[in-house]
Structure 1
Amino acid sequence: MGLFGTDGVRGRANQGNMTAEMALRLGAAAGRYFRREGDGAGHRVVIGKDTRLSGYMLENALTAGLTSTGMNVLLLGPVPTPAVGLLARSMRADLGVMISASHNPAEDNGIKFFGPDGFKLSDEAEAEIEAMVRDGVRLAQARNIGRAKRIDDGRGRYVEYVKTTIPTGMSLDGLKIVVDCANGASYRAAPDVLSELGATVIPVGVSPDGHNINDGVGSTHPEACAATVREAGADLGISLDGDADRVMILDAQGRVADGDQIMALFAVRWAEEGRLKGPALVATVMSNLGLERFVNGRGIDLHRTRVGDRYVVEEMRTGGFNLGGEQSGHIVMTDYATTGDGLIAGLQFAAEMVRTGRAAADLMHSFEPVPQKLTNVRYADGARPLDATEVKAAIAAAEDRLKGQGRLLIRASGTEPLIRVMAECEDEGLLQDVVAEVAGAVERAA
């Protein structure tokens, strides 16, 4: 069936796997999976969502499915994805669910699951739930059907927790910060955290209407934040995505630091303090070679994983590491959160500005990236462009040309029908050539 991708179930709302019927079946399957021991009472699940219009439909359908297997549902309303991981654990829930398609356009939506420990489910758990969706589940007896109620202070609990992640007594007083919430799940939480810690806050992307999430704003469109930073004379820009699990940092000139630069800063700082476990940093195959060289030169190992913050977290938990993330802006700090948290990462950067007395521009460029080019090629549903002979030949030729000079990475997105063609090479002319050749072959096959 192939329901689950790299970050839960995702697709176009009201089509394919993202219908109310499928959400109901997923809810029932997840409910039954987390109630293996029987039909006793006391099981609960927390559900959060971002600001997409389809969130209402999916929230109701998931609630119906979950209560049909005896789960009591606690509805958090719009909260960042990491808040669901936090609250699943702190509220002693058996399961957490986030309804969001993250940085995707408003027409898409997704469903992410968290276990009782606040971490995203393993591939094995998702495979079992998928099998239950396919085969059907045993429903609860009438007397054991679950209840549902809204939790009014879910966002407030998250806000209070986030503020505890910087040193007690530290204030952001004197900092002018632009925070871009992408018209998404953090549109109230992020400005609240920063202003309550003393910053002067200029909010962007805080007027969600169900259709404008990630539309020209947020971490995938940092130019909106950059323009406001320059106009307001701000010290710092924090640009979040639709569910606030990723971030881009901007300096006073509107220049952008991606996840690699943020991880480099934190890794070195934590290593100096003796609190970087390993000492190691966990990143994906997409992270720049410059990051690897930079941290290795400071005695820090770099462990690479498949793309997806869940795989970063799995490696961190296996190896006992506490810092990892993705170039795209997922920053995972397991001392504070169970998944990527853009708001906490942005707050940690602001705290470093306060601690050092240095400007954002002085902190956000730790290393010189190796030239890297990424081209995304969209393909039609059902197409398999990477199986085409022409594409295989183009990839082999590109790898041969790059041998000893750089690297090539070809992968299918786990969240969208895209083939990602990425290369790194010191020779920018060669870099442009090989990416264009491979992307062209994929386009013809797609």
Structure 2
Amino acid sequence: MFGTSGIRGPVGDEVTADLALAVGRALGIDTDRVVVGRDPRESGRLLTDALTAGLRESGTDVLDLGLAATPTVGRAVAWEDADAGVSVTASHNPPQDNGIKLWQPSGQAFDGELRERISERVREGDAALVGWDQLGDRTAVDVTDRHREQLVEHVDLGRPLTVVVDVGNGAGGVTVDALDALGCDVETLNAQPDGSFPGRPSEPTAENCQSLATLVTESDADLGIAHDGDADRMRAVTADGDFLSGDVLLALFGRAAASAGERVAVPVDTSLAVADYLAEADIATTRTPVGDVYVAAAASESDVAFGGEPSGAWIWPEETLCPDGPLAACKIAALAAERPLADRAGDIETYPIRRTSVEVAEKRAVMDRIRETVTERYDDVSTLDGVRIDRGDGWLLLRASGTQPLVRITAEARDSARADELFAEATEILEAAR
């Protein structure tokens, strides 16, 4: 039921009010106080009502943040001395989807053990309902201003900037407020919350952010910022209108956050360019499975100064273990204030990387066969998440999608011809296992 990013799927099919009610009842068994927020999708209203009903009839008090960025929800669990937090969101998914993601007081998403506990209760229909005179309260709470204040407190801009923020019709308006409070001249795109995402698709990719890149260039802005629907992701555009890759952003953030001898947590599909750039400053990388919950778990270790995913999730563990797109926006603005992002990105040597996704009927069985074949044939193999083979001058990765009947192939090397060879090698491994 839960993937690494919580529950997600089409509304009325996989995600229903019945499911939200059941999750509320399951979470209410061992919580007294829960923070709940949602992104702008219209379906989020009824799902929040259903989930809140399940919590309240379990005797749990609900602090309702209403429309709120996911990192605001993640931070608010500790602020409000709550036992858990719930984001009703499908993040960067299309408008027909919605979902439920659960948060711990640390700001980290529910890990596998906690997710399985809730799933088991939902499957079994477990609940601990109370009498009419013990129902939990539902109280409206606004903590967005506190989130903005935290961002301003932890970021110092050396000079005022001109910034274009593409909110993506999502819940990330706190970024605009924080940059304004930091003295920036802020222009917005798609700033009106609208869960049908009329301005652009919710996921902030280079293709979807062409209008942002154009506006940054034409307005002589210092940089552009883009969020997804719940603002847990952040992507950036240079003053020249170039959309920075997730690997380049990860390298920039990691180098700025970590000191020599420290580590940066990265998922297994991260480019070699990140490790090479960080190694120049004696900063090591530690690989995790794909998913912000795994990056957050690694980032909670004492010598890990930063964690991130090239998809746009960035974690500064000293501030929160929740991916915080608005915080990332302020951090990248601070870097741009010191030195143009294009110049910084130019310091990072990037390598050819090949990616594709292949539809398969039985992805688990296919991955089992791949794992058996690869571990017999190759010496340097990691099965941390899928199967990753280190070939010295490059690597290849085969891993099953967490939500779709797909096996994803990635291959990278420091020259193009070798990347093509490794990609062909990975494709042959998959075809032999189908």
Same fold? TM cut 0.5? yes
- Does the CA-based 8 Å contact 1:280-1:303 persist in structure 2? yes
Alpha-carbon deviation of 1:154? 2.2
Residue of 190, 193, 207 corresponding to 1:208: 193
Q: Which amino acid aligns with 2:317?
A: T
Compared CA separation, residues 83 and 386, structure 1 to 2 (3 A): same
Identify the match of residue 104 of structure 1 among 93, 114, 118.
Answer: 93
- Deviation sequence 1:297-340 (CA, Å, 0-9, x none): 32111100000111011112134423111111111101222211
CA shift digits 1:282-306 (9 cap, x unpaired): 1111111111122123211110000
User: For residues 133-184 of structure 1, what are the alpha-carbon distances to aligned partners after superposition, in whole Å with 9 as ceiling and x for unaligned?
Assistant: 1222221232211121222x222221222111113xx4652x1111111211
The residue type paired with residue 88 of structure 2 is I
Report the Cα offset of residue 419 of structure 1. Answer: 2.8
Instruction: Report the number of matched residues.
Output: 420
Name stretches of at least 5 consecutive residues in structure 2 with no aligned partner.
379-388
Measured after TM superposition, the shift of residue 263 of structure 1 is 3.1
| C-alpha distance in structure 2 between counterparts of 1:423 and 1:410, whole Å | 9
Matched to 2:254, the amino acid is A
Q: Contact conserved, 2:212 with 2:224, CA < 8 A, in 1? A: yes
**Aligned AA (2:210):** E
Q: Counterparts of 1:180-259 in structure 2 under 5 Å? A: 180-186=166-172, 188-212=173-197, 215-216=200-201, 218-220=203-205, 221-259=208-246
CA distance in 2, matches of 1:387, 1:377: 14
User: Relative to structure 1, is the Cα distance of residues 317 and 388 closer, same or farther in structure 2, using a 3 angstrom cutoff?
Assistant: closer
Following superposition, the deviation at residue 115 of structure 1 comes to 1.7
- Relative to structure 1, is the Cα distance of residues 33 and 410 closer, same or farther in structure 2, using a 3 angstrom cutoff? farther
Decide whether the 8 Å contact of 1:290 with 1:368 is kept in 2.
yes
- Cα drift, residue 89 of structure 1: 0.5
Partner amino acid for 1:199? Answer: C
Work out whether 1:286 is the aligned partner of 2:269. yes
Identical counterparts, % of pairs: 35
**C-alpha distance in 1 between matches for 2:21 and 2:293:** 24
Q: Counterpart of 1:198 in structure 2: which amino acid? A: G
Are 1:143 and 2:133 counterparts? yes
User: 1:206-262 CA distances to partner (integer Å, 9 max, x unpaired)?
Assistant: 133321178346522232321221222211011112211121121111112233322
Partner in structure 1 of residue 381 of structure 2 = none
User: Cα–Cα, structure 1 residues 288 and 19, in superposed 2: closer, same or farther, change >3 Å?
Assistant: same
Q: Residues 439 and 385 of structure 1: is their aligned pair in 2 closer, same or farther, counting only changes over 3 Å?
A: farther
Q: Structure 2 matches for 1:368-379, cutoff 5 A?
A: 368-377=349-358
* Distance across 1 between alignment mates of 2:133 and 2:282: 60
Distance 2:200 2:428 in 1: 28
Partner of 2:383: none
Q: How does 1:27-426 map to 2 (within 5 A)?
A: 27-34=24-31, 43-135=32-124, 136-151=126-141, 153-167=142-156, 170=157, 172-173=159-160, 175-186=161-172, 188-212=173-197, 215-216=200-201, 218-220=203-205, 221-271=208-258, 276=259, 278-354=261-337, 356=338, 358-377=339-358, 383-385=361-363, 387-388=365-366, 392=370, 403-426=391-414
Whole-Å Cα distance in 1 between the matches of residues 299 and 192 of structure 2?
36
Gaps of 5+ in 1: 35-42
Q: 2:297 is paired with a residue of what secondary structure?
A: helix
Match of 2:29, SS state, is helix
Q: Give the secondary structure class of the aligned counterpart of 1:45.
A: strand
| Corresponding residue for residue 24 of structure 1 | 21
Question: Residue 392 of structure 1: CA displacement?
Answer: 4.3
Give the alignment's Cα RMSD to 1 decimal: 2.9
What is the identity, as a one-letter code, of the residue corresponding to 1:185?
A
